A and B are shown apart, each in its own frame.
Chain A
Amino acid sequence: MLTIKNLHASIEDKQILKGINLEVKAGEVHAIMGPNGSGKSTLASVLAGKESYEVTDGEVLFEEKDILDLSPEDRARLGIFLAFQYPIEIPGVTTTNFLKTALNQVRESRGEKTLDAVNFLKMMKEKMKLVEIDQSLLSRSLNEGFSGGEKKRNEIFQMAMLEPKLSILDETDSGLDIDALKIVANGVNTLKSSTTATIVVTHYQRLLDYIVPDFVHVLYNGKIVKSGDKTLALELEEKGYDWIKTDVAEVV
């Protein structure tokens, strides 16, 4: 589904990603872990098409199509979804209104019929249950005054509504207490299928108890320095990231 080859990216002339290689197939869950500043969030943003990052080398293929020249909206319409680490507050725009516009623009681009108010509401009610989100929250300004947990649940709710093929969760667990974490993880697990894939970007192993990865990659200094199965995450939890840093230093 997703192939990343030798991806280099920079922001304001500062090189952040220094040759990432990754292959994600349908049905798989990949966890990307790493210490702060290793480039995890940059990778997530570059995949979603954030324009402040400049891709200096490499390629990203989504379903065999090069997406690096595509706008963020075109990537979203192809089925790529980024759950933000820090969801943006947008005063005056309600979640409902925003999602209806988004969903219908995505549907239109795929040649599907747009949803009328009744069907949209029906779909919304159904997906709301998934992340235990309240209707009153959705009629408020997007993320404005939401608690950390509400914001993250709203991200997963949006994901449920847009039904992406590839979901990238950028530190969705950070700042969540265990109950909120379980709700979010449950939402993600319910949405998982053999035709979708998930990339979980996280600093902590905790989330991976609930969203169990098929592969774990360690990102350090702009490169994937170690890959393994879910036991790698446990090892990291136990030993910390310093172990990786020394390991890499020794190799160099």
Chain B
Amino acid sequence: MIKEQSILLDKLENSLDSSSKVKKEAWEMLQEVGLPSQKSESYKYTQITSILEKKADFDLVEQKTFDKKELYKTSGSHLVVINGVFSKPDSLVESGVFVDTEEVTEGKHDPFSLLNTAFSPEEITIKTKGEVSPIFLYQVNSVGFSNPRIKVSAGKSQEISIVEKSINESNTFCNSYISFDLDENSKINYSKIQAYNEDSLVHETIFAEQLRDSRFYSNIFTFSGGLVRNNITINLADENCVGYMNGLYILDGKSHVDNNTSVDHLKPNSYSNELYKGILDEKSTGIFNGKIYVRPDAQKTNAFQTNNNILLSENASIHTKPQLEIWADDVKCSHGCTSGQLDEDAIFYLRSRGISEKNAKAMILNAYAAETASYIPVKELKEEVEHLISNKLI
């Protein structure tokens, strides 16, 4: 097993920029902790190391031209990041939005965050001042191995809406890392559409750190991907914070999507709410792991978690695991997960009124899925997501 891991890391060693202290340290730490082994509890259903071993080609460098048609359709800032590098000429940055690039700073210490730190070309920082329109972030990942690193900071009472879409080419492995710093009373709403190529491998780390009175919303919609692993962490590090995690995965083919989420209540009086829904067809696999931590200090915490799944095929599978660890005694926490088939009685009811079986199913599934889109603040994106849901279901 150790040998297997080192094969992957050995391959990469030559491309490490050892002049950077931060990268060098991350690399050394990674050597120590290693990539997740077959026994790793957190990657139990996603044997990512052996999959990368088999499928990822770290050497492949193939730059594809980027279709700009999609860009600039809506008002707001449009930022283009190609293989982790901010492309200034392609981007449109409105006043009040500040995009800078700098050397990568230290990140989280789990294996894929360390990997990102070690190999990311630059850290792209996004800040705002005053009231700003939504920021659209387009990522193109066309090389064999990319490590985009983005940091969004919302200053005191700043409100930022970010919409992210990525184009990931076949046979690529993208290991992205996006972090959100929320200062007092700020708000960030982050929405992401994951509609990847069936042969692409993706590992995404999403990390939010919240200060007093701040609100963070994440809305992640996954429609396809060979392997998609989302590590989402929200740290409610201060009092009176609100953290929402909404997710939807509608999968078919052999798509494999693993959502590993964690909400950490560190201080009193904060609220978190997590809603993840899945629809799984054909031979797709879904994994949901939701952790809630309520630390000893975090009295009067309200923390809720729901994960619902509908399986449309006998060959589809879902592994769902809620995990609550509560040290405080005066808290309200709940969690629930369900997995089931479509309600046959409901389908018969609609069909008995003349609606075709296909339409009846789509209607029920659409209504089921739509709830997860309710927190998208950008109208165009909400419509696009609803459209994607309908297209996927009919």
Residues of A within 8 A of B (CB): 48-52, 71-73, 75-77, 81-82, 84, 87-88, 90-93, 98-99, 101-103, 105-106, 109, 141, 158, 162
Contact = CB atoms under 8 A, between A and B. Distances in A.
Contacts of B367: 90-93, 141
Contact of A92 (B344, B356, B370): B370
Contacts of A106: 353-354
Given A90-B367, A92-B370, A92-B371, A105 B356 contact: yes
A90 B364 contact: yes
Contacts of A81: 352-353
8 contacts: A71-B357, A73-B360, A76-B353, A88-B345, A90-B346, A90-B349, A93-B363, A162-B354
Nearest to B369: A92
Interface string B337-363: 000000111101111111111011001
B293 interface: no
Contact of B364 (A93, A103, A105): A93
Contact of B353 (A51, A109, A141, A158): A158
Nearest to B349: A88
B45 interface: no
Given A71-B357, A162-B354, A98 B363 contact: yes
A90 B350 contact: yes
B368 interface: yes
Contacts of B351: 49, 71-73, 76
Given A84-B349, A99-B353, 10 more contacts: A51-B344, A73-B354, A73-B360, A87-B349, A88-B343, A90-B350, A91-B367, A92-B367, A92-B368, A101-B363
Range of interface residues on chain B? 20 to 34
A51 B348 contact: yes
A92 B371 CA distance: 8
A71 B368 CA distance: 25
Contacts of B357: 71, 73
B275 to A, nearest CB: 14
Most buried by A among B353, B356, B366: B353
Contact of A72 (B348, B364, B368): B348
A51 to B, nearest CB: 7
Contact of A77 (B354, B364, B368): B354
A101 B363 CA distance: 10
Nearest to B343: A88
B355 A101 contact: yes
Nearest to A93: B367
Contacts of B344: 51-52
Given A90-B364, A158-B353, A105 B359 contact: yes
A72 B363 contact: no
Nearest to A73: B351
Most buried by B among A71, A87, A91, A101: A101
Nearest to B356: A73
A133 B382 CA distance: 32
A50 B363 contact: no
A98 B356 CA distance: 12
A72 B352 contact: yes
A99 B352 CA distance: 12
B354 A102 contact: yes
A73 B349 CA distance: 10
Contact of A76 (B352, B366, B368): B352
A105 B355 contact: yes
A92 B356 CA distance: 18
A49 B350 CA distance: 12
Contacts of A87: 349
Contact of B354 (A88, A91, A105): A105
Closest 5 CB pairs of A and B: A92-B367, A76-B354, A106-B354, A102-B353, A72-B351
Nearest to B362: A101
Most buried by B among A49, A71, A72, A109: A72
A202 to B, nearest CB: 19
B197 to A, nearest CB: 31
B371 A88 contact: no
Nearest to B353: A102
Contacts of B360: 73
